[in-house]
Amino acid sequence: MDEPAGPVVRECVEGYLFSTSPLELLLFRRPPARGQIWVPISGKVELADADWEAALRRELREETGLDRPRRIVPLDWHVRFRADNGETWRLHAYAVEVDRTFVPVLSAEHETSQWTNPAEAIRLLHYEDNRAAVERLGRVLSPSPKV
């Protein structure tokens, strides 16, 4: 994946909601006006956000009603991309553990949500960097044994 050149103008966050035993991810589908694509929770970092994780927690509340995830795991995944306006933005990805019984209260940004296994998540997700982040999430949560 080729990342755009130039200075980063805007920071963004995304959260991959997951549950374990077995590993499943909660994906969200945009409404027709936004392409009906499957995505994680995401949004822009605002000036009032203390840091990237604070921005993620705000986005989780706004888009799903989630106030208290079990844990948030940084994926150490920083992807530069070209925004619709041509600017270079950077995305910071996190894994967000929730109970499998969690039912999101969807904002207008999403029309539905679906629990799925990682292979199906990779098939459904629209953006290449989202698919790569799911693969990274699997490695972060189940690291290879050290030899």
Where do the structural domains in the chain lie, given as residue ranges?
Answer: 8-141
115, 100 contact by CB (below 8 A): yes
- What 8-state DSSP symbol labels residue 29? E
pLDDT score for 135: 96
Residue 134, CA distances (Å) to 45, 47, 59, 89, 119 in order: 21, 28, 19, 20, 9
The predicted model scores a pTM of: 0.92
pLDDT score for 145: 56
Q: Which two tokens stand for residue 21?
A: 């035993």
Per-residue pLDDT for 141 more than 60? yes
> What's the mean per-residue pLDDT of the chain?
94
CB within 8 A of 67, min separation 6: which ones?
A: 60, 61
96, 2 contact by CB (below 8 A): no
pLDDT score for 134: 97
Per-residue pLDDT for 5 more than 80? no
pLDDT classification of 142: cutoffs 50, 70, 90? confident
CB within 8 A of 9, min separation 6: which ones?
A: 83, 87, 88, 89
Separation of alpha carbons 131 and 39, rounded Å: 10
pLDDT score for 2: 66
CB within 8 A of 138, min separation 6: which ones?
A: 23, 118
Nearest to residue 62, comparing CAs of 104, 20, 33?
104
Per-residue pLDDT for 144 more than 90? no
For domain 8-141, give the CATH superfamily. Nucleoside Triphosphate Pyrophosphohydrolase (3.90.79.10)
pLDDT score for 3: 72
For residue range 22-60, what is the model confidence (pLDDT) as tens digits? 999 999 999 999 999 999 999 999 999 999 999 999 999
**In percent, how much of the chain has pLDDT > 70?**
95
pLDDT score for 113: 98
134, 122 contact by CB (below 8 A): yes
Average pLDDT over residues 9-21: 96
For residue range 93-127, what is the model confidence (pLDDT) as tens digits? 999 999 999 999 999 999 999 999 999 999 999 99
